[in-house]
Chain A
Amino acid sequence: MSRIKNAFANKAKIAYLTAGDGGGVEQSAAYFLALVQGGVNLLEVGIPYSDPVADGPVIQAAMERALAVNTTVESSLEIVAKIRAESEVAMILFTYYNPIQDDLAGFLTRAKQAGADGVLIVDLPYEESANYRYHCRYLGLAPINVIAPSTGKARMKTVLTGLDQGFVYYACQKGTTGTRDGLPADLPAQIAAIREASQLPVAVGFGVANSAMVEQILALADGCVVGSYLVKQLEKKIKPEELTALTKDLYHVA
């Protein structure tokens, strides 16, 4: 788990892609590694799902593309293992609950073996998370918890108390994933409220669409997540080396 800590030591630059998007295990791993070349120090590897209700059109389309080339939970883990063989970058898995619920403990065990450092289950809120949190603790995986604009201060305490691994993921916009024109006005206040509830580093994501927004977020928070903006590039069939260049621009990496 020190990999996640390292990523946050000097601002975490976090990037999301859907596993299998870009065409199969090899090619998908190449895109993730291209992000690392571009300065990303924490990868968020999305497992494709047929009914991604938290995602907007761009990531929905990416999941459809990934499923069309038969990407499964297991092949997503193969992609993680491939990335891990090449890089010590911090890595978390992003998934919906249904594809893994049949054997949660087995999935988390295999995720750990493949080289993941943490897991985010987007539709498994605190109320349903006891088993997941427990197995993560047992395996040495960080359970990544999302805080949303609707989460009140009391609930932040409930959700975050007792967590000492990973980071807090603040999904700063209402609605689904997808790029937005700007950051919400309440962002500084919300980050301050999260810091009151938890000692963990705070990463902010949802809607980040350009390097100016990345800069603004990193001035306030400990990490910044970019998803749909990058996924959109794969939709345009960008080459891995082009993705590296674009990521460098996005995160101002020399």
Chain B
Amino acid sequence: MLIKICGITTPEMARKVAASGVDYIGLLFTKHSPRQIDLATAKQICEVVKDYDTQVVGVFFDESLEQIQAIDAALNLDVIQLHGDAPRAAVANFTHKPIIYVADSKALPAELNPAKDFILYEKITPDSTIPFRYFIAGGLDKDNVLTRIAETNPAGVDLSSGVEITRGVKDYGKIREFLALVKPTYYGAFGGMYVPELLIEPLHDLTKAYHEIALGDEFQAEFINLLKNYVGRPTALTEVKNFAKAIGLKHVYLKREDLTHTGAHKINNALGQCLLAKKMGKTRIIAETGAGQHGVATATACAMLGLECKVYMGQVDVERQAPNVAKMRLLGAEVIPVTDGSATLKDAVNEALRDWASSYETTHYCLGTALGPYPFPQICARFQSVIGNEAKAQFAEQTGGSKPDLVIACVGGGSNAIGVFQAFIPDEEIKLVGVEAGGYGTGVGENAARFQSGRLGVLHGNRTYVLQTQDGQIADTHSVSAGLDYAAVGPQHSDLFATARASYDVASDQEALHAFQLLTSSEGIIPALESSHALAYLIRIAKDLPSDCKVLVNLSGRGDKDLPGLLERGLIHVAH
């Protein structure tokens, strides 16, 4: 479904609307509109929108052909929209660009070129069987839009006053509400269901089960009970004064996901999904794993719930996370080393998807992070939301009612980060920072810094930022930490990045190793290499923060799993 929003009047409004994932924005030049803009403003708007996929529509009412040509020449519009009194035939002759004709009768405009043009039905109900693309407009609001779409089967919806606070002032909250209704599988411009046809119905079944079972009271009660009495939640919020002092800060708090049963946040999601799978009647679970934390969590949940478990893990990761491989096998899971491609997390996901394509009737794919085709990002984010919800309450309790100024988490696929961020997204004054793996350099294959590459793509079922070659092949990635070593990032993070609600930075292998040792020696807490990236970022920027800045870092997991590999490779040293 295409979304067009008309009457954009400022560059800032254009940026925010475009960043939300809106497909078209309409600019009005007629003096009869309260949303009229001049050419200079329109130029600024076009400049701002270039950074997004959003197309600019020039909306014309009674302008002459010469005026329309002049505006198009100045702005290089993507699309031209013509209302009743505009010189339709003349415009159709001068441009090859798509034209949106506003319908004034049931009859199709004589100039319509169905291969590129649209019709816009404002007051007339379209004939839903016509094979042309059309928008519907007029009086659409969040209460009627889905019914109107079902009745008229349009290619897109055109909104203006329905998403305004007052005339001419857009309400970004309302725009987001509309987007969520009309594109339910997306976060703004990111997400979706890019999978072979074979997997669509299994994904629909999972979506249905998620809504009908997992969000129900009975399931939630059982899940919360398991989180408390099996996982050991709530996990602690620990103020780390020594570490803070060492880096020149006063208030640093760690959310201790390392203290969960199995030693990382992954158990929250794995337990939720395996419990859901059991209620769906599935008898077998498959999972991918990078660092092995999700594999261990899934194997644990399966052992407890009596489910068969098979874990796909890249050969490189099997070698660098040996303790977790042994644990999974001890827990009764079958671990399949994947030797294809780069033999890391991406290749493990490929194999898990291939398995699911033949086994979906009996098997649930317990995807370990907040990405993949919808509904996986949604499900994972929901099961991980406990992290942020607890941390927010604990932070207030320990600090006399205050909130953190800065929340930091490492981002591989992004599940621990989205888990902690969610609770703070509505508090716009709180800065949210995700930290990606900077590896050992900025070249392709030397890191896993998706946002730094700035390239959009589709990997493992969702549209998001993806590390890839010039030719659109998925790039090899590198990180010292297996859990961050992945070419794509969860779609909700891409949306937070595009809308500037969160920012994303990197920490290098070396910085992460330093942070690993500093937290261990100053606080007696051995962090996972993944979580060490979040700490490393804080160490680097600490000097630029006010010393009384209140910082919350999500310590996503513990570092026991990393020790043998690090010692063996001589990456850390232990005094004898």
Contact = CB atoms under 8 A, between A and B. Distances in A.
A123 B472 contact: no
Interface residues of B, number: 42
Contacts of B116: 138
A50 interface: yes
B273 interface: no
B341 A127 contact: no
A206 B115 CA distance: 34
A72 B466 CA distance: 18
B472 A101 contact: yes
Nearest to A61: B340
Interface string B55-73: 0000000000000000000
Nearest to B199: A150
Contacts of A138: 115-116
Contacts of A137: 115
B473 A99 contact: yes
Interface in A122-159: 122-128, 130, 134, 137-138, 145-152, 155, 159
B346 interface: yes
A73 B201 CA distance: 30
A225 B474 CA distance: 28
Interface stretch (B79-87, B188-196, B302-310, B538-546): B188-196
- Interface majority SS on B: helix, strand, loop or mixed? mixed
Contact of B357 (A97, A152, A174): A174
A49 interface: yes
A220 interface: no
Contact of A49 (B198, B461, B473): B473
Nearest to A162: B131
A51 B201 contact: no
Contacts of A128: 192-194
B197 A101 contact: no
Given A125-B195, A128-B194, A99 B471 contact: yes
Nearest to B204: A155
B471 A127 contact: no
A247 interface: no
Contacts of A150: 197-202, 360
A21 to B, nearest CB: 16
B457 interface: yes
Given A98-B468, A125-B200, A176 B458 contact: no
A175 B194 CA distance: 17
Contacts of A134: 133, 155
B469 to A, nearest CB: 8
Contacts of B277: none
A159 B197 CA distance: 10
B472 A171 contact: no
A183 interface: no
B185 interface: yes
Contacts of B457: 98, 101-102
A56 B354 contact: yes
A102 to B, nearest CB: 7
Interface of A: 49-51, 53-54, 56, 60, 67, 72-73, 97-102, 122-128, 130, 134, 137-138, 145-152, 155, 159, 162, 171, 174-176
Pick the 4 closest A-B CB pairs, nearest first: A175-B358, A99-B472, A148-B198, A138-B115
